A and B are shown apart, each in its own frame.
Chain A
Amino acid sequence: MAEQKTKRKNIVKDISFRVAKATVKAVLVYLLYFFLAPMLAPLFEMVPDLLGSLEAFVAVYIVLIILSDITAKTILQHFFNTARALFFMGYLLLSMGNGVFSTSYENFSLSINLTMFYTIAVSLSLLGLARCILQAINFMHERTEASSMDF
């Protein structure tokens, strides 16, 4: 009875910790966006669609962080981590277009070739994706090992 009580207490404690961790992470990501966004204000004036797209990206990213942390120590965590890495890569690939950022102001037009930057960012995202898949494989391996030990 006492053991069951302790186990339930541990589960509540664990879930609370996950929720707290997810909240802290989400707040940190939002704060990063909150402080960085004003710095990019001149860019938003030149590219009005950027702000909306960035807001949507941050919202989806935070939701995936929360889901990943809440489902920690389960296979779902790795699904959400992989989804986050794929979402990040997809967002980068969709936003890069041909890799040249172009904008016009009055009769001036500015173009910056971001191909190199995007290549590095996508490579790093691939590294993140690889990490998520390896973690999922490791998780499944540990689980199989644990269940075989039980037998």
Chain B
Amino acid sequence: MLGIASTIFWILLVAFLALAAYSVKDLSVDFGEPQFSATPDGELNLGLPLYVDNRGYYSLKEFHLSTVFSDAEGAEISRADTFVPVIPHGENITIMHNVTLNPVTLLEKGAPYLFNDNDLNVSFTAGLNFAELLPAEISANFTFPWGAPFYNFQVGDPSFETVSFTSVTVSVPVSFENHAVFDLVGGIRMELYDSTEAMLTESQTVIYVPQYSAYDDTMEFTIPVTPSSVSSLANAQSGHLDVYFDIGVIQYGPLVIPYG
């Protein structure tokens, strides 16, 4: 009798395992194209659609998805969690995993994220309770490309032009590429210094650079010709430019660029 009971239980256990294995075969999980959007607060919203088609014999319970974004130094930038209590068997559902990235956190770190493309580390964990008996978890680490908003920022040598007896115009070519996933709206302010560290003039410009596009323009400065500025202009064959960036959510500067 004990033998029969034991055999029946073993058959039930093996049948359950076989069905569970067969159900896993009929379970498909697909990731859709990530969708980027910017919130009015300047935060980046990354929506990752996840399609789960559970054609197996068992419901999936306590499905959870967690992503942690961290910078190259390992500091956490963003964390997002998605929880679905039940994915019934025979159903096809779409889960939207939303990750909010605050660029300020990155851009506050300055030059590495403003001027250079970088890779963010993403730690991904997905878990579920399969058939209420087998909790399973899958985790992965991968990198997420961070595009710099002022990639390859270059400032050319200033060219001086006397337009009248009262003023001198200085032109400075500025170029960069916006590799960020957001449109760049803000301003650039520049201060022009001569070789004796005396500030000759300053200028600012408003910029609007759509995502993944290049900016190539010239900043104009006007130096009024006065007895004191004439000596400064004589020293202006070399010096440096101090560049200040303001993109609304973050201010950065000065970026000192020597010329001459």
Contact of B6 among A109, A114, A116, A128 (CB under 8 A): A128
Q: Which of A4-12, A21-29, A117-125 contacts B (4 or more CB under 8 A)?
A: A117-125
| Distance A39 CA – B20 CA, assembled complex (angstroms) | 13
Is the Cβ of B138 less than 8 Å from the Cβ of A110?
yes
Tell me which residues across on chain B come within 8 A of A58, comparing CB atoms.
Answer: none
Q: Smallest CB–CB gap between A136 and chain B, Å?
A: 13
Is the Cβ of A116 less than 8 Å from the Cβ of B133?
yes
Q: Smallest CB–CB gap between A142 and chain B, Å?
A: 17
| Distance A124 CA – B21 CA, assembled complex (angstroms) | 21
Is the Cβ of B6 less than 8 Å from the Cβ of A127?
yes
| Distance A116 CA – B129 CA, assembled complex (angstroms) | 12
| Distance A111 CA – B125 CA, assembled complex (angstroms) | 11
| Distance A39 CA – B5 CA, assembled complex (angstroms) | 28
Question: Contact string, B69-109, partner A, CB cutoff 8 A, digits 1/0?
Answer: 00000000000000000000000000000000000000000
Q: A113 on the interface (CB 8 Å rule)?
A: yes
Is the Cβ of B133 less than 8 Å from the Cβ of A124?
no
Is the Cβ of B9 less than 8 Å from the Cβ of A127?
yes
Q: Smallest CB–CB gap between B18 and chain A, Å?
A: 9
Q: Smallest CB–CB gap between A107 and chain B, Å?
A: 5
| Distance A141 CA – B231 CA, assembled complex (angstroms) | 121
Is the Cβ of A112 less than 8 Å from the Cβ of B139?
no
Q: B208 on the interface (CB 8 Å rule)?
A: no
Question: Chain A contact residues: over half helix, strand or loop, or mixed?
Answer: helix
Q: B13 on the interface (CB 8 Å rule)?
A: yes
Tell me which residues across on chain B come within 8 A of A121, comparing CB atoms.
Answer: 13
Q: B197 on the interface (CB 8 Å rule)?
A: no
Chain A interface residues toward B at CB < 8 A: 39, 107-114, 116-117, 120-121, 124, 127-128, 130-131, 134
Is the Cβ of B133 less than 8 Å from the Cβ of A112?
no
Tell me which residues across on chain B come within 8 A of A112, comparing CB atoms.
Answer: 134-137
Is the Cβ of A107 less than 8 Å from the Cβ of B134?
no
Given the known A-B contacts A107-B142, A117-B133, are A124 and B6 also in contact in the complex, defined by CB atoms under 8 Å? Answer: yes
Contact of B13 among A110, A111, A124 (CB under 8 A): A124
Tell me which residues across on chain A come within 8 A of B138, comparing CB atoms.
Answer: 108-111
| Distance A113 CA – B131 CA, assembled complex (angstroms) | 12
Is the Cβ of A111 less than 8 Å from the Cβ of B137?
yes
Is the Cβ of B136 less than 8 Å from the Cβ of A111?
yes
Is the Cβ of B2 less than 8 Å from the Cβ of A124?
no
Tell me which residues across on chain B come within 8 A of A128, comparing CB atoms.
Answer: 6
A-B contacts, 28 listed (Cβ < 8 Å): A39-B21, A107-B140, A107-B141, A107-B142, A108-B138, A108-B139, A109-B138, A110-B137, A110-B138, A111-B136, A111-B138, A111-B139, A112-B134, A112-B135, A112-B136, A112-B137, A113-B135, A113-B137, A116-B133, A117-B13, A117-B17, A124-B9, A124-B10, A127-B2, A130-B2, A131-B3, A131-B6, A134-B2
